[in-house]
Structure 1
Amino acid sequence: MTGATNARERFAGRVAAVTGTTSGIGRGIASALAAEGALVFGLDVEPGGIGEHIPCDVSDAESVAHAAADLLALSGGRIDHLVANAGIRGSNTAAEDVPIGAFDAVLAVNLRGVFLTLQAFAPAMLAAGSGSMVAVASMSGNRVVNVPQRTVAYNTAKAGVTAMARTLAVEWGPRGVRVNTVSPGYVSTPLLEADSALHGQWLPNTVPGRFATVDEIAAGTLYLLSDDAGYCHGTDLLIDGGYSLR
Structure 2
Amino acid sequence: MDKVALITGGARGIGRAIVEDLGRDHKIAFTWLNSAPNLDALDGDVLAIRSDLTQQDQPTRVIDQVIAQFGRLDVIVNNAGLVRPTPKEAFNLQDHKDILDLNLLAPMALLTAALPHLQAGASIVNISSMNATLPPRDAATYGASKAALNLWTRAMAKELGPQGIRVNAIAPGAINIPEAPRSDDLTELFVKDTALGRVGVPEDIAKVVRFLASDEAGFITGEVLGVTGGYRL
Q: Please confirm whether the aligned pair reaches a TM-score higher than 0.5, indicating the same fold.
A: yes
Return the match for 2:115 from 122, 136, 141: 122
Per-residue deviation at 1:241? 1.1
Contact persistence 1:139–1:244 (CA under 8 A) = no
How far apart in 1 are the matches of 2:207 and 2:51?
25
Amino acid at match of 1:32: D
How far apart in 1 are the matches of 2:27 and 2:15?
15
Superposed counterparts of 1:154-173, under 5 Å? 154-173=142-161
Return the match for 2:209 from 198, 221, 245: 221
Superposed counterparts of 1:86-165, under 5 Å? 86-91=80-85, 93-125=86-118, 128-144=119-135, 149-165=137-153
Contact persistence 2:157–2:222 (CA under 8 A) = yes
Per-residue deviation at 1:81? 0.8
Aligned length: 226
Q: Where do 5+ consecutive residues of structure 1 fail to align?
A: 1-11
SS in 2 for 1:79: coil
Structure 1 partner of 2:78: 84
Amino acid at match of 1:43: T
Name the CA shift for 1:179/1:108 in 2 (closer, same or farther; >3 Å). Answer: same
How far apart in 1 are the matches of 2:29 and 2:156?
23
Q: Does 1:198 align with 2:186?
A: yes
Contact persistence 1:54–1:71 (CA under 8 A) = no
Q: Does 1:187 align with 2:167?
A: no
Per-residue deviation at 1:123? 2.0
Per-residue deviation at 1:170? 0.3
Per-residue deviation at 1:192? 5.4
- Cα deviations by residue, 1:19-58 (Å, 9 ceiling, x for unpaired): 00110111101100012x1000112225416631022211
Per-residue deviation at 1:196? 4.7
Q: Does 1:33 align with 2:27?
A: no
Amino acid at match of 2:23: A
Calculate the TM-score normalised by the size of structure 2. Answer: 0.91
Name the CA shift for 1:190/1:230 in 2 (closer, same or farther; >3 Å). Answer: same
Structure 1 partner of 2:2: 13
How far apart in 2 are the matches of 1:19 and 1:198?
28
Contact persistence 1:186–1:192 (CA under 8 A) = no
Q: Does 1:239 align with 2:214?
A: no
Contact persistence 1:135–1:182 (CA under 8 A) = yes
SS in 1 for 2:23: helix
How far apart in 1 are the matches of 2:83 and 2:185?
17
Amino acid at match of 2:11: T
Return the match for 1:175 from 163, 171, 174: 163
Name the CA shift for 1:15/1:68 in 2 (closer, same or farther; >3 Å). Answer: same
Give the % identical residues: 28
Contact persistence 1:44–1:54 (CA under 8 A) = yes
Task: Please identify runs of 4+ aligned residues in structure 1 that moved more than 6 A.
Answer: none
